[in-house]
Structure formats: C-alpha cells, structure tokens
Structure 1
C-alpha cells in the first residue's frame, strides 16, 4: 500500500511538468544557437550564429523569421561574412514537454563569397521544454538556391542540409 501511495504521488507530481510546455495562440518565442570550427593551428576558423523570432497562430502552428550570420577567417585574409534571412512556418505535433515539428522556410542568402540568391525548402525539428518557458531545440533544414520561381524545379535536387542546435524562450 505504501508503494502504491508513493508511485501515485510521483505520477501526480509529474502531471504539471507535462502540461507546462503548451504554447498557445499569441505566445511568442525567441531562439539562439551557434556553431564553430577551426583547424588544428587556428589558421582557418568559422563561426555561425542563428536566431529566430516566432509567434504561435495556434497551439500547434508557429510562423516567424530566422536569421543566420556566418564569419570565416583565414590567416592572411580578411574575414568573410555571409548571412541568410528566411520566413518560416512550423507545425508542432503532440503536447507536453517534447514536441517534434515540421515546416517550410523561404528567404535569401547574401554576403562575401556567396552568390546572393533566394533559398527555400522543408525543415524538421524537435523541441524539449526544460521548464514552463525555456526549451532546447534541434533543427535540420534542406535548402535549395534559386534565382527565380522558374528555377525551383531545376535546383531542388542540388540543395544542402543545414543543422542547428540552440536554446529558446516562450513569452
């Protein structure tokens, strides 16, 4: 009987934690993530920072703007900067602290050493809330580049995958 009581109390204590992570229509979120790399002598280094702002249209759907800034520094060369700005729409599945999502994004890429062009494609990700407002997120984007709408069919197979991990906050 004592074991049943303890188990029941433990389960009851977990119920509010599961219900914590349920954004609703009108809630907003921001995310921030980054990555970097260097060769063994630090002669060539790269840094990437990604952030986003979004607003929930419902408990499951989120739209927003995502920004990525990249810097690449090679010894003896000036730092090369590039970036991309995209609008996205994501649909979240389930409820509770862990929620996978799928979506689409479209925008542009620009900067030093890149052809300034449009980009777009599908994305898939996962969010896990650590408390009521804070979550960790992972995202995989498949982006293809195109100059105009007529190029989309020709360039879809020539895309690239982009990965990111970060932290987010709902308010």
Structure 2
C-alpha cells in the first residue's frame, strides 16, 4: 500500500493528462515522419522519410507542403522515389487528442515509377505531449492521373500511404 502513490505519480509523469493543445492562427508546424522494411535476412531493404511544413490559417485549419523521399535496395536492384504535394487539414477540437481530415494534391517521380500527378483525401490523429509537441499518425489515399479525365477512371486503382512521426508548432 505504501507504493501505490509512487506508482500513480510515475504514471502522471509519463502520461500527460489534460494538455491544452491550442495552435493559433499564424502558428507554423513541422512534422518529421518515417518508415522502413527489410526481409528476414536484411537483403531487401526499403525506407521512406517525409516532412511537412505548414501554417495554421485559422485555429483549426492548417495548409502546407509535404515532401517524401524513399529508397529501395532489393538485391541487385536499387531505386529512389519522391513525392511533393500541398495539403490542407481541418483539426477537430483543441484537446490533447486532435483528429484531422484533409486533402492533398501533388506529383510522384523517381526510378521505376510512372511520373504522374495524384490527389486524394487524408486523415489522421495528433497526440499533443506538450502544447507545442505532438505525435502524428496519418493515412492518405492517392488517386493517380495525367489529366482530369483520368481521375474518375483511376479512383479504384489508388494507393494508401501511411506515416507516423513527431511534430512541433512554433
């Protein structure tokens, strides 16, 4: 029984409760995210890194640019890819957990990819550890197109892109 207050206290240190996350109009944001994969022998490796730079146009709406770069070393073949897009996201609420919904449009390029445009919806969740620091998870659905007629035809052939990262508001 004497250790119970110590455990509760330690939990409060590692799990912040009631963080007031309230970016304001004009605040800027920066998020760094990454992912990777390898086979069991570490012979085939892929990794991807991306960053967002943006600004809050209102207390809950952020716009910005996202840049991604990836590399793959698949045995005898290696390649790189890149994607650049603009985004707009609406954040729901002003608590420590903030879901968001938005859209993006941009282009993909690199080795072994059909260089083309894409657009689509995105959604995610930011968990604020401090007022200005957050963890972010996000998913986007990319519909590829070379012209406006391709969008409807290619909607079912899109791709999901997932990311997790760390961000700051400043």
Same fold (TM over 0.5): yes
Measured after TM superposition, the shift of residue 132 of structure 1 is: 1.6
Measured after TM superposition, the shift of residue 138 of structure 1 is: 0.5
Measured after TM superposition, the shift of residue 152 of structure 1 is: 1.0
C-alpha distance in 2 between matches for 1:74 and 1:159:
23
- SS across alignment from 1:81: strand
Partner residue in 2 for 1:167: 166
Structure 1, gaps ≥5 residues long? 1-15
Is 1:46 the counterpart of 2:9 in the alignment?
no
- SS across alignment from 1:87: strand
Measured after TM superposition, the shift of residue 97 of structure 1 is: 1.1
- SS across alignment from 1:156: helix
Partner residue in 2 for 1:80: 79
Q: After the TM superposition, which residues 11-160 of structure 1 pair with which residues of structure 2 at under 5 Å, given as runs?
A: 17-19=18-20, 21-77=21-77, 79-160=78-159
CA contact (8 A) 2:102 2:122 kept: yes
User: Would you tell me which structure has more helix in proportion to its own residues?
Assistant: 1
Measured after TM superposition, the shift of residue 80 of structure 1 is: 0.5
C-alpha distance in 2 between matches for 1:119 and 1:23:
29
- SS across alignment from 1:150: helix
Count of paired positions:
154
Structure 2, gaps ≥5 residues long? 1-16
Residue-by-residue CA offset, 1:109-147 (whole Å, 9 max, x unaligned): 000000000011000110011012110001010101000
Q: TM-score, normalised by structure 1?
A: 0.87
Partner residue in 2 for 1:11: none
Q: TM-score, normalised by structure 2?
A: 0.87
Deviating runs (4+, > 4 A) in structure 1? none
